[in-house]
């Protein structure tokens, strides 16, 4: 299996690209063939991903930073002029996110087998989704800053077209806003990367973009602070953190269903992953001095998003705003710089990907039936009109609001817990205040989800829908949702599924702060 | 009288022969056959290209050291010959279908390219001046080839007047330089300028004058305003030639002047380049946002791109490593820019055959009418905007990295903000092609085979270089000019 260990990541990342190229030459009329190839070329990477789970040495947990501790590592020369390499690998933090990416994309293709938004064009749709998958998966495995940046930006163009062609009525505005916002942040991130490159002088290597090597660079504090600002702009816009979140409600609302699923499920995690993977280990001093500010912004996001959700009338927009809040919890966990907090953050990322991905699938399916997403127009009674769909919505919403026993619980509660005792050198008073406000946020979150359920699920079916016959959850929907529903339950009951993987990598990382 | 090294000037000789042949052939043949001048020219350029390739790795000097063939010269000559082939390829249909004197056009075009061949080899002010004029003068005429169209007349006249004015200023500057230094050789000038004579106001003023002449050539602010009108009025292949070849020739000359002759006074002129670069890119990008006509949009886009290429000049200083990085960044950017811009002009040409106005809205629904062309155009646009994994990103990347290395991060930040602005108008074309439906009566676009070949090849090159930037990245390093 040596061969597999060496090439597994490359296969998982680039089989979708090959698929995109293959689909590009399929004749336009062969609708089913294009969708089938999409299934195939996202299914094979998932199989590779599952195999990797069996080959992954959980005992090592991927001790990021210790030489040779990355698993499935490949380090090939790529651009000699820059000393940039094709360096990919997996540790305990990347693994769950990579698996999530592979799984969600495959589920999106299952969903697309039946549902393809206007104006059709399955060929282009499938090719773009596959290209997107390469970008997303690559971001989580890249251990070279240039490579990371290339994958990071690779996501933009497919998503721009997915929103702009297959989106809702206001799609063009949303697509451009998404693109400009993200690229604005990421170019500053690139400048930060370059600054690190030129300020690094690793014995025997010289200037380098290698994320593992750069940990030894030990930049002076002044440089760290400057670079941190550049990186912060890139990551914070992607997360998005308040007040950089304004692209999100538009993009998520206008995007087609699977576009929203991937935006919320994966793309947002790229930002938080960037903080954990790059900002914290490479710029520890700056991270410590910026942590309080990040914590404050995170809590503002939690409370603000919850209040905004209470005011939403559009179901999909409500879910979009709820993402801002959930990512706030993730950022709060990161800001504490403690093992519990960062474990909670990674857990929160995975849980949010599973749950909110599911919520966006539901929003799409509700729209397929009612042809509206206005909560007032749906008008209640969904549980009696389409009982399975209503039940699934209840289950997922309750998971999202953080009910113990389901996936949403652990990320939030541990983030709050960790802010009770943040890392040394961070203000206890501030973080405990943040904890209180975060707690208020959880109550508000429960409030808007329950209120939404009351307005959509409960009550009697309005007259206008009485005569209409809606199909309940279809087989294809069950197929694409089942893994997420099961995952929500499993992660809630056995949080060790994630913590067991991440813990060691996180403790290594946090060693820098204690 | 020292012997002339005929091998060193073989490409120029072949091209000169071809020029005469094309002129004679076009007059001798009946009108409907005069297009034959194009394949003739094509073959001649291929011959010159092959001759240039035999010079790889050589380091020859002739004409008393004023004419040098080294790696730098060969790199640019190969580049110019390839560009010439592309421009010729996209010209054929355009000039056959319009009412043009084809023989004249190919004669003028090749004459201009002859100037480009001599430009990177010129190592004294006189040769440099002759080369620059040989590049420019045919351009004035070519801009006016659409004789029936007043806009083309205006294009030529504007180009001519401003061109002549800037030439006069530059010549004045060169004469002052000669007065101060007593030599025309670039390395000789550098030697004198590094001494006490270089600090005088006269020398500095002379440098400014010369730079102004080249600033016109590369359409840098504040000498940029001829570009949009001239591009719009010219035949489209000529606009492509102006925005790529003629601009690159200007940069080839500027590189030699700044990195060799005037290098000792970099402390004086580098800050000026910083201001010019920032002004050029900002002006180009902001005005491009307003454009509705594609050729005009690309004119402003190419002004903005000039701004990017000028940025590394602002980084020149006493640190040799940074100078090398800056030099490499300029050369690399020119190479990459040429590929993506020529590709984009190929697409514009194809669209303009059926919609001569070439408005941005004429691109509506192109993805349905000509999918391969539209996808290639998206690649060019995204690449021009500098987004990975396409070649344009690496061009910008090397400029950013040189700026950061030189501790001039503010320039990198300005360029970054500019890149983001440029995304907006590049995407506006992509948006038309893909998001907007074509009008009801639109048929599939018929594209000349040569044009689509060029476009697809350019797109393939953009992607290949984007994935393996090392293919290009080591060219500039081997071609570094030897500074004194």
Taking an 8 Å cut-off on Cβ atoms, the answer to whether B434 and A197 are in contact is no
Residues 6+ apart with CB under 8 A from A259: A159, A162, A163, A166, A167
Cα gap A247→A261, rounded to integer Å? 16
Q: Considering just the CA atoms, what is the radius of gyration of chain A in Å? A: 22
Phi, psi at residue A88, to the nearest 5°?
-125, 155
Whether residue A187 and residue B393 make contact (CB cut-off 8 A), yes or no, is no
| Confidence (pLDDT) at A378 | 85
| Count of Cβ atoms closer than 10 Å to residue A494 Cβ | 11
Say if A154 is an interface residue toward chain B (CB within 8 Å).
Answer: yes
For chain B, say whether A156 makes contact (Cβ under 8 Å).
Answer: yes
DSSP result, B428-451: HHHHHHHTSPPPTT--PPP--HHH
- CB pair distance less than 8 Å for B423 and A180: yes
> Cβ(A104)–Cβ(A265) under 8 Å?
yes
Residue recorded with tokens 């050369």: B331
Q: Which helix (H) or strand (E) holds A78?
A: strand A71-79
A311: how many CB neighbours lie within 10 A of its CB? Answer: 10
Q: Strand A84-90 relative to strand B67-69: parallel, antiparallel, unpaired?
A: unpaired
Cα angle value B267/B271/B275 (rounded, 5°): 165
Q: What token pair was written down for B228?
A: 């949009």
Distance separating alpha carbons of residues B97 and A23, to the nearest angstrom? 37
- How many other CB atoms sit within 10 Å of the CB of residue A394? 18
User: What's B359's DSSP letter?
Assistant: B
**pLDDT for res B64:** 81
Assigned token pair, A170: 């206001």
H helix or E strand, kind and range, residue A77: strand A71-79
Q: What is the pLDDT of residues B227-271, one digit of tens each?
A: 999 999 899 999 999 999 989 999 988 998 898 888 888 888 999
Q: Return the ∠ at Cα A252 (arms to A248 and A253), rounded to 5°.
A: 115
Q: What whole-number percentage of chain B has pLDDT above 70?
A: 97
pLDDT for residue B286 is more than 90: yes
Q: From chain B, which residues contact A within 8 Å (Cβ)?
A: 378, 382, 387-389, 393, 397, 400-401, 404-405, 409, 412-413, 416, 419-420, 423-424, 427, 431, 434-435, 468-470, 473-474, 477
Q: Read off the pLDDT of each residue in B18-46 and give the average, rounded to a whole number.
A: 86
Contacts of B155 (CB under 8 A, 6+ apart): B143, B144, B229, B230, B231, B232, B233, B234
Of A79, A81, A157, the CB nearest to B387: A157
For chain B, the C-alpha Rg in angstroms (whole number) is: 21
CA dihedral B7, B10, B11, B16 (to 10 degrees): 160
* Cβ-contact A497, A491 below 8 angstroms: yes
Residue of B nearest to A176 (CA): B424
Q: List the one residue out of A199, A247, A249 whose CA is nearest residue A223.
A: A199
CA quadruple A47, A48, A53, A54: dihedral sign: positive
Per-residue pLDDT of chain A (514 residues; tens, 9 = 90+): 678 888 899 999 999 999 999 998 888 888 888 899 999 999 999 999 999 888 888 765 444 444 347 888 888 988 887 888 999 998 888 999 999 999 999 999 999 988 888 788 888 899 999 999 999 999 999 999 999 999 999 999 999 999 988 988 888 899 999 999 999 889 899 999 998 998 888 888 888 898 888 888 788 888 899 999 999 999 999 988 988 999 999 999 999 999 999 999 999 999 999 999 999 989 988 999 999 999 999 999 999 999 999 999 999 999 999 999 999 999 999 999 998 999 999 999 999 999 999 999 999 999 988 888 888 888 888 888 888 999 999 999 999 998 888 998 998 999 999 999 888 888 889 999 999 999 999 999 999 999 999 998 888 888 888 888 888 888 889 999 999 999 999 999 998 888 888 888 888 888 777 6
The model's pTM is: 0.90
User: Please, which residues bridge with residue A75 across strands?
Assistant: A87
Q: Where in chain B are the domains?
A: 10-478
Residues 6+ apart with CB under 8 A from A443: none
Look-up of token digits 């001093």: A285
Instruction: Name the 3-class secondary structure at A144.
Output: strand
Say what the pLDDT of residue B71 is. Answer: 83
Give the pairing type, strands B60-62 and A84-90: unpaired
pLDDT in tens, B423-479: 989 988 988 888 888 887 778 888 888 899 999 999 999 998 888 887 776 666 655
Say if A21 is an interface residue toward chain B (CB within 8 Å).
Answer: no
Chain B residues in contact with A161 (beta carbon < 8 A): 434
Q: Across the interface, do B427 and A179 touch by the CB < 8 Å criterion?
A: yes
> Does residue A80 sit at the B interface (CB-CB below 8 Å)?
yes
Q: What is the DSSP string of B19-65?
A: HHHHHHHHHHS-GGGGGGHHHHHHHHHHHHHHHHHTTTT--EEETTT
User: What pLDDT is attached to residue B476?
Assistant: 60
Q: Is B436 exposed, middle or buried (0-12, 13-18, 19+ CB in 10 A)?
A: middle
Q: Do B470 and A153 touch (CB under 8 A)?
A: no
Per-residue confidence (pLDDT) for residue B484, from 0 to 100? 34
Q: How many CB pairs under 8 A join A and B?
A: 78
> Which residues face B60 on adjacent strands?
B69
Whether this model's ipTM surpasses 0.95 comes out as no
Q: Is A218 left (phi over 0), alpha (psi -120 to 50) or beta?
A: left
Q: Token pair 């040799």 is at which residue?
A: B320
Q: Which helix (H) or strand (E) holds B82?
A: helix B71-97
Confidence (pLDDT) at A60 = 56
Judged by CB atoms closer than 8 Å, whether chains meet at B424 and A176 is answered as: yes
Cα dihedral sign for B356, B357, B360, B361? negative
Q: How far apart are CA A298 and CA A135, in angstroms?
A: 26
- Three-state DSSP class for residue A96: helix
Instruction: Dig out the tokens for A62 from the structure.
Output: 């991927």
Q: Pick A187's closest partner by Cβ from B416, B431, B477.
A: B416
Tell whether omega for the bond before A243 is within 30 degrees of 0, i.e. cis.
Answer: yes
Write phi, then psi, for A219 (nearest 5 degrees).
Answer: -65, 150
Q: At what angle do helices B102-118 and B125-143 cross, to 10 degrees?
A: 160
- Which residue of chain A comes nearest to B478, CA vs CA? A81
The nearest CA of chain A is from the CA of B455 a distance in Å of 18
Q: How many CB atoms lie within 10 A of CB B315?
A: 26
Cβ-based neighbours of B17, under 8 Å, separated by 6 or more: B44
Choose, out of A150, A170, A247, the residue to mutate when testing the contact with B (most B CBs < 10 Å): A150
CA distance A424 to B137: 72
Spatial neighbors of A466 by CB under 8 A, at least 6 apart, are none
- pLDDT of B482 over the 90 cut: no
Dihedral (CA of A95, A402, A330, A107) sign: positive
Residue A148 touches partner B, C-beta closer than 8 Å: no
Query: CA-based diameter of chain B, in Å?
Result: 72
């Amino acid at each position: 299996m040596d061969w597999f260990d060496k090439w597994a990541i490359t296969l998982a990342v680039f089989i979708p690209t090959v698929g995109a190229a293959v689909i590009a030459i399929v004749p336009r009329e062969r609708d089913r063939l294009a969708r089938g190839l999409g299934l195939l070329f996202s299914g094979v990477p998932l199989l590779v991903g599952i195999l990797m789970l069996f080959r992954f040495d959980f005992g090592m947990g991927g001790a990021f930073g210790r030489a040779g501790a990355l698993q499935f590592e490949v380090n090939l020369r790529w651009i000699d002029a820059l000393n940039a390499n094709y360096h990919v690998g997996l540790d305990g933090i990347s693994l769950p996110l990579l698996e999530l990416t592979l799984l969600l994309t495959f589920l999106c293709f299952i969903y697309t087998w039946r549902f393809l938004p206007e104006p059709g064009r399955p060929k282009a749709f499938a090719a773009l989704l596959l290209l997107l998958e390469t970008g997303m998966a690559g971001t989580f495995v890249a251990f070279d800053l240039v490579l990371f940046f290339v994958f990071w930006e690779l996501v933009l163009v497919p998503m721009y077209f997915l929103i702009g062609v297959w989106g809702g009525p206001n799609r063009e505005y949303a697509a451009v806003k998404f693109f400009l916002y993200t690229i604005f942040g990421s170019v500053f991130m690139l400048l930060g990367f370059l600054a690190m490159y030129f300020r690094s002088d690793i014995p025997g290597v010289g200037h380098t973009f290698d994320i593992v090597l750069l940990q030894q660079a030990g930049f002076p504090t002044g440089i760290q602070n400057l670079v941190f600002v550049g990186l912060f702009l890139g990551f914070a816009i992607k997360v998005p953190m308040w007040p950089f979140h304004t692209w999100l409600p538009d993009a998520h609302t206008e995007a087609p269903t699977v576009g929203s699923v991937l935006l919320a499920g994966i793309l947002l995690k790229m930002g938080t992953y960037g903080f954990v993977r790059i900002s914290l280990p490479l710029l520890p001093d700056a991270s410590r001095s910026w942590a309080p500010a990040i914590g404050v912004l995170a809590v503002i996001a939690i409370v603000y998003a919850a209040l905004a959700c209470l005011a939403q009338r559009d179901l999909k927009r409500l879910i979009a705003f709820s993402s801002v809040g959930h990512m706030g919890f993730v950022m709060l966990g990161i800001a504490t710089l403690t093992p519990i907090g960062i474990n909670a953050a990674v857990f929160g990322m995975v849980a949010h990907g599973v749950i909110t991905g599911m919520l966006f699938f539901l929003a799409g399916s509700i729209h397929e039936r009612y042809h509206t997403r206005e909560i007032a127009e749906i008008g209640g009674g969904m549980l009696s009109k389409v009982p399975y769909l209503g039940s699934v919505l209840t289950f997922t919403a309750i998971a999202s609001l953080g009910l113990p026993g389901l996936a949403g619980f652990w990320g939030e509660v541990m983030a709050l817990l960790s802010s009770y005792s943040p890392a040394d050198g961070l203000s206890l008073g501030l973080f405990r205040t943040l904890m209180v406000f975060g707690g208020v946020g959880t109550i508000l979150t429960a409030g808007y989800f329950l209120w939404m359920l009351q307005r959509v699920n409960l009550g009697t079916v309005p007259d206008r829908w009485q005569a209409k016959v809606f199909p309940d959850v279809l087989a294809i929907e069950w197929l694409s949702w089942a893994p997420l529903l099961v995952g929500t339950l499993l992660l809630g009951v056995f949080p060790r599924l994630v913590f067991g993987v991440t813990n060691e990598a996180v403790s290594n990382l946090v060693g820098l702060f204690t | 009288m020292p012997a002339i090294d005929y091998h060193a000037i073989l490409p120029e000789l072949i091209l000169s022969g071809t020029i005469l042949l094309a002129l004679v052939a076009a007059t001798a043949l009946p009108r409907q056959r005069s297009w034959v001048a194009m394949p003739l020219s094509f073959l001649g350029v291929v011959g010159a290209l092959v001759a240039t390739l035999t010079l790889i790795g050589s380091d020859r000097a002739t004409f008393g050291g004023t004419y040098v063939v080294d790696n730098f010269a060969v790199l640019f000559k190969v580049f110019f010959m390839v560009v010439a082939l592309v421009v010729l390829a996209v010209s054929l249909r355009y000039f056959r279908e319009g009412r043009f004197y084809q023989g004249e056009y190919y004669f003028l075009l090749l004459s201009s390219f002859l100037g480009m061949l001599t430009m990177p080899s010129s190592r004294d002010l006189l040769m440099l001046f002759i080369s620059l004029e040989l590049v420019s003068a045919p351009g004035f005429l070519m801009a006016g080839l659409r004789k029936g169209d007043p806009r083309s007349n205006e294009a030529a006249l504007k180009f001519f007047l401003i061109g002549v004015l800037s030439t006069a200023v530059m010549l004045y500057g060169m004469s002052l330089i000669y007065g101060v230094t007593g030599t025309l050789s670039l390395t000789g000038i550098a030697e004198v300028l590094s001494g006490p004579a270089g600090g005088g106001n006269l020398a500095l003023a002379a440098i400014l004058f010369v730079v102004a002449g080249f600033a016109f050539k590369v359409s840098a602010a504040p000498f940029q305003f001829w570009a949009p009108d001239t591009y719009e009025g010219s035949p489209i292949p000529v606009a492509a030639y102006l925005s790529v070849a003629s601009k690159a020739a200007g940069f080839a000359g500027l590189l030699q002047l700044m990195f060799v002759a005037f290098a000792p006074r970099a402390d004086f002129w580098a800050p000026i380049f910083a201001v010019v670069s920032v002004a050029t890119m900002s002006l180009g990008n902001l005005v491009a946002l307003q454009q509705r006509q594609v050729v005009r949009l690309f004119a402003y886009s190419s002004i903005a791109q000039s701004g990017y290429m000028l940025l590394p000049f602002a980084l020149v200083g006493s640190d040799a490593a940074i100078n090398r990085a800056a030099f490499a960044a300029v050369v690399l950017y020119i190479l990459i820019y040429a590929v993506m811009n020529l590709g984009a002009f190929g697409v514009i040409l194809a669209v303009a055959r059926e919609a001569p106005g070439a408005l941005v809205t004429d691109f509506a629904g192109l993805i349905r009418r000509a999918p391969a062309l539209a996808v290639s155009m998206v690649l060019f646009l995204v690449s021009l905007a500098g987004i990975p994994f396409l070649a344009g990103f690496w061009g910008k990347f090397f400029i950013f990295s040189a700026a950061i290395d030189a501790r001039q991060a503010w320039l990198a930040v300005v360029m970054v903000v500019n890149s983001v602005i440029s995304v907006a108008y590049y995407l506006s074309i992509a948006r038309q092609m893909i998001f907007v439906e074509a009008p009801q009566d639109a048929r599939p676009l018929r594209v000349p085979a040569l044009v689509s070949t060029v476009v697809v090849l350019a797109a393939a090159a953009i992607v290949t270089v984007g994935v393996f930037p090392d293919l290009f990245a080591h060219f500039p390093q081997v071609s570094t000019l030897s500074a004194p």
